[in-house]
Amino acid sequence: MIDLAAAQHVAARLRDRLTAAVKGRDDVIELVLVALLADGHVLLEDYPGSGKTLLSKTLGESIIDDGADHIPGFRRIQFTPDLLPSDVTGVTVFDATTSRFSFRAGPVFAHVVLADEINRTSPKVQAALLEAMAEKQVTVDNTTWKLDELFFVIATQNPLDLAGTYPLPVAQLDRFLFKIRMHHVSREAELDVLLTAKERRAGVPEALPRASRGEVVAARQACHELVHVSRSVHEALVDVARALRADRRVLQGASTRSLVMALPALQARAMIRGRDYVTPDDVEALLVPIFGHRLELAPGVDDAGEVIHEGAMPVLERLARLSLERAAG
Amino acid sequence: MIPPAAVEAKRPPPDSWLVVALRGLALGVAAFALLVEVALPAGLVGAVGGTLAAVAAASSLARSRVRLLAVWLAAALAGAVALLVGAWLVDGAAGAALLGIRGAMSAGDAIRFGLLAFALTLALRTSSTRYEVVEVVELVIVALSLAGVMAAHRAGALNHPRWLSDWAWTNGHDPQRILLWLGAGTLVALVLALMRERRGRGARVLLHFAAAALLAALAAVFVVTVFGAPRPRRGEGLGLDGGRPEEGQGRPSAGGTGQAGNQLNQLEFKDDYSSKSQDSPVAVVILHDDYSPPLGYYYFRQTAFSQYNGHRLVATTRDDLDRDILTDFPTGKTAIPEAPAAGAGRERVPIHSTVALLVDHVRPFGLESPAEITPKPSPDLSRFQRVYDVTSSALAMPYEDLLGKHSSRWKASPAQEAYTRLPDDPRYKQLADKIIDETLRPEWRDDPFAQAIAISSWLGKNSVYSMKSQHAGADDPTADFLFGDRTGYCVHFAHAAAFLLRARGLPARIAAGYVADEGRRGTGSTIMLRQKDAHAWAELALDGFGWIIVDVAPERSLDPPDTPPDQDLQRILGELARGDPRAGKMPPPGASHAWPTLAQVLRRAAVGLLALLACCWLVKLWRIGAPSVAGPRSVHRVAYRAALDRLAEVGMARARGETRERFAVRAAPFAPSLSPLTEAHLARAFGSRRLAPVGETRRLARGAWSEAWAHAPWWRILIGFANPLSWLRSR
């Protein structure tokens, strides 16, 4: 296992490469890295042409495959209504030369998988992908194939163009660690995109170091082991979840599993920021990505972010006050 | 673009119709209660309707984007319109011409009160949906309106408000209990209403209670400074109002309010003198000299009846008679003419006493034969109508020494004629002669005092005392009594004795006043006189001795025996009459409280405030010094806190909802030391393994201090540092 500084260095290398490729999306990049290091998956809700593919592709390419199984760094699946599960997972084919059936791996056998417009395909295909995400394995013809340890899915969906889609139910959204709602970049960032378009067309400069698959996995482990989550932060998480469940505007609150899943995310964010402890700032920053898609809101209420902020603010303020008032235990 | 629904969600969810209805009900009842005394029925209907409409309007207005100021302006406009239209309709001729007088009055009231209620309610209700604290004002108004209805019962007037107490008494309930329950219920309802507020939890509820208390205190101070402290009402609480006049009965002893003294001029023959005993005190007498009356009773003479008017004895109309009776209260020290002389070695001794009248009398009275009266200022005007000192010439010799004295003072004078006139009825003379002949030995048969004793003792033996007598209707009630069933009360006895004495040619008259048993005094010097102590007795003039009391003590009585007076009340009244406002021991109920003046209130508030600020400054000093003395366990926290304090002093504070890291970033251009300090604090607070060294942390705290002061203008630093409350802003 590597130490925290080395782990932070791994994240920093990936971040540098991503920020070089994608302009004006530093917040999203950080969240994606947090999810990667927390061993979760990400659902991006964004408009077409906002750099999702570039982000995923750059991430996949930034991770060097140091194993012997030649798993590709990046695969993209464009979801359409006529897609079949085997198009995702892979298919068993008969090899005439050896007269044996062999498994041809699908696109999920990659380090980083971009599942584009995931809500455009049938629930059956969605379920196949979601099983792969949850179990890190696929089952084809009663044979179970392990996916790579690093397996990381970035799924996208268009928030507006909902005609002919199969919206993911809340239970399946639960498989995603984050749902990141992206907004249009700022004027300066957009200008920067245009101004640097020529250089970036050549790809990320080779001078920027990559990270190996093994390093990423080790960094995951390091942040899980070495970043301390204090009891007060645990309490704050529980209190926020309870406050959200008590909110009138929330029909169904966040699950306990989502709280458990939040812990590695908090640790990953603290580690990326060079800390070995989780602060309320981490909680505050990750609440909306973690809980936003897990709440079933009452009719007429559609801004989960606001509901979450209102529910969390008193808890976090209390946490801040307490930390100032009494010596840490 | 923000979808409209997101904007909607920021405002409170609409109230349920039940809540709106309850609010409307409460405010409607309040409007009704406030206006029920002043408005016509149409005005009441208008006011309640306006209130309900305003509550409904406000509940929809609450969620609109209309500015509060606009609502207030609209309400003020509506109020002005209401007053103008109301005045035009009621006072102007056009309204009456248009609608008729009655119609104009009703319409004016309806519009005026309806629109006013609407405007006021709308302003209040909308304000309280925007600022919850205003709900306190609403609640206070509702409470005050109810209190106004019930206020009539204060000061122990349990018969008010009449509609409630009448109902209660007729149904066999004690209105006191009902009023108590009403008060308690109102209080509980208000508290519950305050606590029920939508988002009112914890500190917010406390804040609202504090606001309510502040309002109440301000109202109290305002009322006291503007209207003065509430004065106790006359005779309040002790039942000292001398009883109330009983309608249609005109009881002689019932003086009515303030004129109880008249009773003694009106002591009359009545068929039923005793509806119920009158225990209310009318006066207090304080004896300054020890005096034990020879007869065992203190007689207090107020007036005398000596002139026969063909029916009974009445007060004389002549100037030359009964000159020892004052007809009015003197304004200064006054010696009473013809009062018997008193002094050491004489048969009469001067007795000093103070009389305090709880009920106004028409003329003064004093122990036995008053000789001098000096008015005194009342120690408590709310209680004692008049206070005066009396020096009396009290008989100090044994009664048997009066034997052998003569009554020839007015011999062959018009006075003698006046003092011996009696009804033209021979039976008096016959009876008198018979009594004297039967009971006295011949050598005493011409002795005035012996005759008086004989007559009074004969009357005592042969008559029956009863307040219920049946002689009033007769032409000569005295004859009807004396030659009839001989059942009567003091007026009958006094007349009978006086007429019998006069029949024997002795100058006699009737004196009226109060009488009190010597034993009543107990060990004190106070004698409390009650309504029912009013008495009339016969008096005999003896040369050199003045008027000698010849009272009849009937041996048999049909009436229940007298109840002893309340000793405690007697004592308390005595102390009060002496000028002790605490009545010896305890403050009298309802006596004036020592209300602090506004200046005192302000001074105390200022002192309290200063003390509070001083405490705050001490806290601030402690927080400044803490980083230097704190150990490694807490130095990160207190150093960070000190840095926050310094920044707050110059106006830089973390916003609510802002995390510490983000605040540090925001403050970085201003105070770069804050970021490492924040990190040190958070690392300590959230369990990092890498803690900043203590010395470094202290250095950073000092650094943040100097940075904060380096970037702020000097006046800001000065004000901020002097402000004892600045640390409350740092969080």
Fill in the DSSP letter of residue B561: P
The DSSP element (H or E) to which A45 belongs, if any, is strand A42-45
- Residue A215 belongs to some domain of the structure: no
Q: Which of A317-321, B100-104, B243-247, B367-371 has the lowest mean pLDDT?
A: B243-247
Same domain, A64 and A167: yes
Q: Any idea which of A246-250, A266-270, B138-142 has the lowest mean pLDDT?
A: B138-142
* Percent of chain A whose predicted confidence (pLDDT) is above 90: 29
Stated pTM of the model? 0.50
Element (H, E) at B136: helix B134-150
Burial class (CB in 10 A: 0-12, 13-18, 19+), B334: middle
Instruction: For residue B202, list chain A residues with Cβ-Cβ distance below 8 A.
Output: none
Q: Are residues A152 and A233 in the same domain?
A: no
Residue B200 has what pLDDT?
Answer: 47
- pLDDT more than 70, % of chain A: 98
Q: How confident is the model at residue A253 (pLDDT cuts 50, 70, 90)?
A: confident
User: Mean pLDDT, chain A, as a whole number?
Assistant: 87
Interchain pair A277, B682: CB under 8 A: yes
Interface touch A303/B8, C-beta < 8 Å: no
Q: CB-CB: which of A233, A302, A328 is closest to B5? A: A302
Q: Assess if residue A283 is contained within a domain.
A: yes
Query: Does A107 share its domain with A160?
Result: yes
Dihedral pair phi/psi, residue B233, rounded to 5°: -80, 160
> Is the same domain home to A179 and A236?
no
In DSSP terms, A154 is beta-bridged to A42, A114
Question: B interface mutation test: which of A324, A325, A326 has the most B CBs within 10 A?
Answer: A324
H or E, element range at B203 = helix B203-227
The CA distance from B150 to the nearest CA of chain A, in Å, is 42
Residues A252 and A191 in one domain: no
Measured CA to CA, the distance from residue B588 to residue B467 in angstroms comes to 35
Q: Say which residue, A243 or B203, is predicted with more confidence.
A: A243
pLDDT at A239: 93
Interface test with B, best of A309, A323, A325 (most B CBs within 10 A): A323
Asked whether the beta carbons of B423 and B479 are under 8 A apart, the reply is yes
Query: Which residues of chain A are within 8 Å of residue B657 when distances are taken between CB atoms?
Result: 309, 313, 316-317
Nearest-angstrom CA–CA distance, B590 and B606: 30
Residue A78 and residue A135 share a domain: yes
Q: Which of A203, A117, A102 is nearest to A164 (CA)?
A: A117
User: pLDDT tens for residues A92-109?
Assistant: 888 888 888 888 888 888
Q: Which amino acid is at A106?
A: G
* A116 min Cα distance to partner chain B (Å): 26
- Residue A213 domain-assigned? no
The least confident of A244-248, B136-140, B701-705 is: B136-140
Do A236 and A168 sit in the same domain of this protein?
Answer: no
For A216-235, the pLDDT digits (tens) are: 999 999 988 999 999 999 99
| Residue A99 domain-assigned (yes or no) | yes
pLDDT at residue B162 tops 80: no
Q: Are strands B508-517 and B534-542 parallel, antiparallel or unpaired?
A: antiparallel
User: Among the listed ranges A100-109, A149-158, B159-168, B485-494, which one has the minimum average pLDDT value?
Assistant: B159-168
CA of A11, closest CA in chain B: separation in Å? 20
Average pLDDT for A145-170: 86
Helix, strand, coil percentages (3-state) for chain B, rounded to 5, are 50, 10, 40
Q: What pLDDT does B119 receive?
A: 92
Q: What's the pLDDT at B248?
A: 35
Residue B602 CB partners (closer than 8 Å, separation 6+): none
Residue A96: which CATH number? 3.40.50.300
Cis peptide before A72 (omega within 30 of 0): no
At B2, the pLDDT band (50, 70, 90 cuts) reads: very low
Tell whether A172 and A64 lie within a shared domain.
yes
Interface contact flag, A323 B682, Cβ < 8 Å: yes
Determine the 3-state secondary structure of B634 from DSSP: coil
pLDDT, greater one: A32 or B405: A32
Is A40 inside any structural domain?
Answer: yes
Round the average pLDDT of chain B to a whole number and report it: 79
* Cβ partners under 8 Å of residue B430, min gap 6: none
Buried b or exposed e, range B159-191, using 16+ CB within 10 angstroms: ebeeebbeebeeeeeebeebbeebeeeeeeebe
Domain that holds residue A103: 21-197
Query: Which ranges constitute the DSSP H helices of B37-133?
Result: 41-61, 68-91, 93-130
pLDDT at B14 over 70: no
Q: What is the b/e burial string over A83-109, where b = at least 16 CB atoms within 10 angstroms of the residue's CB?
A: bebbbbbbeeeeeeeeeeeebebbbbb
Paired tokens of B94: 């056009």
Instruction: Supply φ then ψ for residue A155, to 5 degrees.
Output: -100, 150
State pLDDT tens for residues A267-285: 999 999 999 999 999 999 9
Give pLDDT tens digits for B507-532: 888 888 888 888 887 777 888 888 87
CATH number at residue A249: 1.10.8.80
CB nearest to B9's CB, from A233, A249, A281: A249
Q: Which of A5-9, A299-303, B213-217, B470-474 has the highest mean pLDDT?
A: A5-9
pLDDT category of residue B589 using cuts at 50, 70 and 90: low
Residues A88 and A170 in one domain: yes
On the question of pLDDT at B438 being above 70, the answer is: yes
Chain B residue whose CA is closest to A274: B679
**pLDDT reported for residue B1:** 36
Residues of A whose CB is below 8 A from B654: 320
Domain assignment present for residue A78? The answer is yes
Residue A299 burial (CB count, 10 A): 8
Determine the Cα–Cα distance for residues B618 and A122; give it in Å rounded to an integer. Answer: 69
A134 assigned to some structural domain: yes
A222 falls within a domain:
no
With contacts defined as CB-CB under 8 Å, which chain A residues touch B684?
A: 328
Asked whether residue B696 carries a pLDDT value surpassing 50, the answer given is: yes
What pLDDT band is residue B424 in, cutting at 50, 70 and 90? confident
Report pLDDT digits (tens) over B250-290: 333 333 333 344 444 445 666 555 444 467 788 888 888 88
Confidence check on the interface: ipTM exceeds 0.90, yes or no: no
Asked if A121 and A49 sit in the same domain, the reply is yes
Question: Would you say residue B236 has pLDDT above 60?
Answer: no
Q: Concatenate the DSSP letters of all residues of A78-128 into one string.
A: E--TT--HHHHHEEEEEETTTTEEEEEE-TTSSSEEEEETGGGS-HHHHHH
Task: Say if residue A171 is in the same domain as residue A268.
Answer: no
- Please count the other Cβ atoms lying within 10 Å of the Cβ belonging to residue B330: 16
Q: Do residues A187 and A125 share a domain? A: yes
Closest CA to B394 of B249, B288, B277, B242: B288
* Rounded (10°) CA dihedral B415, B252, B240, B176: 180
Cβ(B391)–Cβ(B352) below 8 Å: yes
Contacts of B400 (CB under 8 A, 6+ apart): none
Contact B465, B507 (CB under 8 A): no
Number of alpha helices (DSSP H) and beta strands (DSSP E) in chain B: 22, 16
Predicted pLDDT at A41: 92
Q: What is the pLDDT of residue A282?
A: 92
**Residue B657 is encoded by which pair of tokens?**
């909802």
In the block, which residue shows the tokens 């004489």?
B346
- Say if the Cβ atoms of B687 and A277 lie within 8 Å: yes
Contacts of B686 in chain A (CB under 8 A): 228, 230, 232-233, 277-279, 323, 328
Distance separating alpha carbons of residues B394 and B639, to the nearest angstrom: 91
Chain B residues in contact with A160 by the CB 8 A cut-off are none
Total domains present in chain A: 2
Q: Give the pLDDT confidence of B441-465 residue by residue, as tens digits.
A: 888 888 888 888 888 888 888 888 8
Residue B632: its pLDDT value, please?
84
| Residues B645-666, mean pLDDT to the nearest whole number | 88
Does B682 contact A279 at a Cβ distance shorter than 8 Å? yes
